[in-house]
Amino acid sequence: MVDRLGIGSEDYVFELGSGNGKVVFLIEKYSGARVKGFESTLWTHLWAKILKSLKKSKSELIHGDFFQTSWQDATVIYMYLYPPLMPQIAEKALAECRPGTRLISRDFYNENLNQVDRFKTPGGHEMFVYQI
């Protein structure tokens, strides 16, 4: 995904629903991008903080609701969220993200955004790519 989308050190990647930080850490490692993960479940957030320390990651991990923070600084937003959230994601992205910001949704299509790419991962997951 990092190579295909050209995510690099100049990017600021937000992961919505970052769980234990696995994707945050991988994007940081393979792209050199600045990465911020948002997770609302306390125990997974705390586990991610432990992993961050062990990996010596520079990522920022936020415990809380990603709808309650601004997305205007993100150049890439990655998510693996359920379909009922997609209209809200589109509304916030269209209101706050700068032109050119890319959104990547794993497995779930968002009919309210401009799709620019779609591909399958080696693991069989469908990736939908949108651009503001």
Q: What is the pLDDT of residue 21?
A: 96
* Residues β-bridged to residue 34: 12
Cα 97 from chain centroid?
A: 13
> Mean pLDDT of all residues in the chain?
96
Q: What is the pLDDT of residue 84?
A: 94
Q: What is the pLDDT of residue 27?
A: 97
Q: What is the pLDDT of residue 72?
A: 97
pTM: 0.95
Q: What is the pLDDT of residue 49?
A: 97
Long-range pairs, 53-61, Cβ under 8 A, ≥24: 55/25, 57/21, 57/24, 57/25, 57/28, 58/28, 58/34, 59/21, 59/24, 59/25, 59/28, 59/34, 59/35, 60/35, 60/36, 61/18, 61/21, 61/24, 61/36, 61/37
Q: Which stretches in the chain have pLDDT values below 50?
A: none
d(CA 113, CA 76): 14
Q: What is the pLDDT of residue 64?
A: 95
Q: What is the pLDDT of residue 42?
A: 96
Q: What is the pLDDT of residue 76?
A: 98
